[in-house]
Structure 1
Amino acid sequence: MTTQDMLDERYGRTRSPRRRWVIGAAVALGAIVVGLFVWTTVSNSLDAVDVDTTGFEVVDEHSVILSFQFTAPMGRSVACAIEAQDEEHGVVGWRVVELPPSQEHAQAFRETISTTAPATTGFVNACWVT
């Protein structure tokens, strides 16, 4: 027995196969967690839709024309929830617009929202890939 072996045994620094197995399992589990995080992040960003309201026009007390643009994955259809609100931020008009797939990354649209009362604003609430 070497001096190093005697010192390891005396101070409890023995190298056991169980410890190696536990360290290996912890490293494997950590790699799986990191892989799942990367996969989730990438898959969510592939279907991301970024939308901006570019303007609105109150036509009369029963309609608003909303202008907006969005960037979405090419070749995928998109749905957007658009709404009109009154001066107290109450929703007076709302609808879901389904937009066809396109080979363009960025697209611009103008949509009319029917309202139940006079509106003071119009905007895009949310867009998603369908």
Structure 2
Amino acid sequence: MTDLDARYGRHRRTTPRWLWPLVAALGVTVGIAWAAWASWTDVPVFQARVHSYEVIDAQRTQVDLEIFRDEPVALTCRVFAQAQDKVVVGEKNVEVPASSQSPVRVVSEIRTERRAVTAVLDSCEPS
């Protein structure tokens, strides 16, 4: 026993040496399994965006959506109109019928409670 051991005591390892490599290996395995599962899910491929919008008056905003899709799947897109203070002043669900044509443009009108300054696409989901 050295003088330092006598003065401060000897540190004992409380966990076995193999524990942290095992935890790391399990974490990597779970991560790879999740990535493989997520990449093989059967989700229809589509994209949507606001092509243009027009504030018609204080109660109406027109939005023009552009839909790109690989398969003819029907979609429901949620759009909303925002005022200058970024408050949502109107919203609408827009039904996009299934079509093999791509891209597809859909024009819809959002009723607003006060004047909007922009139209935003919130989400699109298969119907």
TM-score range, shorter chain: 0.5 to 0.7
The answer to whether the 8 A contact 2:44-2:71 is kept is no
Q: CA deviation at 1:36?
A: 6.1
Quick check: 2:78–2:124 contact (8 Å CA) kept in 1?
Answer: yes
Cα RMSD of the aligned pairs, angstroms, is 2.3
Percent of aligned pairs with the same amino acid: 19
* Equivalent residue for 1:65, pick from 62, 65, 70: 62
Using structure 2 for the length normalisation, give the TM-score: 0.67
- 2:50 pairs with 44, 53, 68, which one? 53
**Aligned 1:35-114 pairs, distance under 5 A:** 37-43=35-41, 46-114=43-111
Query: How far is 1:58 from its partner?
Result: 0.6
Gaps of 5+ in 2: 1-28
User: Is the 1:74–1:105 contact (alpha carbons within 8 Å) kept by the matching residues of 2?
Assistant: no
Deviation at 1:66, TM superposition (A): 0.5
Compared CA separation, residues 36 and 59, structure 1 to 2 (3 A):
same
**Aligned equivalents of 1:42, 1:69: Cα separation in 2:** 27
Aligned-pair distance for 1:119?
0.7
The structure with the greater share of residues assigned to helix is 1
How many corresponding residue pairs?
Answer: 100
Q: What whole-Å deviation, never above 9, does each CA across 1:8-55 have from its counterpart, x for those lacking one?
A: xxxxxxxxxxxxxxxxxxxxxx6x9856643431325x3243111111
Q: Secondary structure at the match of 2:78?
A: strand
Partners of 1:90 and 1:123 in 2: how far apart?
Answer: 12
